[in-house]
Amino acid sequence: MIVYYGIFPETSQRLAGHGVALHHLCTWWDVLAEARAQGVFDTATLSEVETFLQNPRAWQEARAESFFQGTGLCRLWG
C-alpha cells in the first residue's frame, strides 16, 4: 500500500516509471476540506495544514531551522 498525499505533483509519474499505477480514494486536500466542513479543528490548525499542503518542502525547511536552533545540529545540516 502506498499512501498518496496529493501534494507532490511528480508522484504519479515517478511511480508509473516503476510500473506502479496509482489509485487513490482521497488526498489530504479532501481531508482538509472535510475537516473544515465539520469544524473539527480550530482555524489556526487548518491554516497550518493548508500552508503545508501548498508547499510541503518550504514548510518542512522553515520548521527544521527552528527545530535545530540551539542544538548544534544546524552546523551539520547546513
- Cα–Cα distances in angstroms (integers) from residue 31 to residues 9, 25, 71, 78, in the given order: 18, 11, 35, 34
Q: Of 77, 34, 50, give the one whose Cα is nearest residue 69.
A: 77
Q: Which residues contact 5 (CB under 8 A, 6 or more apart)?
A: 11, 27, 28, 56
pLDDT of 74 higher than 60:
no
Name the more confident of 11 and 73: 11
pLDDT tens-digit profile of 10-59? Answer: 888 898 999 988 887 888 899 999 999 999 999 999 999 999 999 988 98
pLDDT of 70 higher than 80:
no
What's the predicted TM-score (pTM) here?
0.66
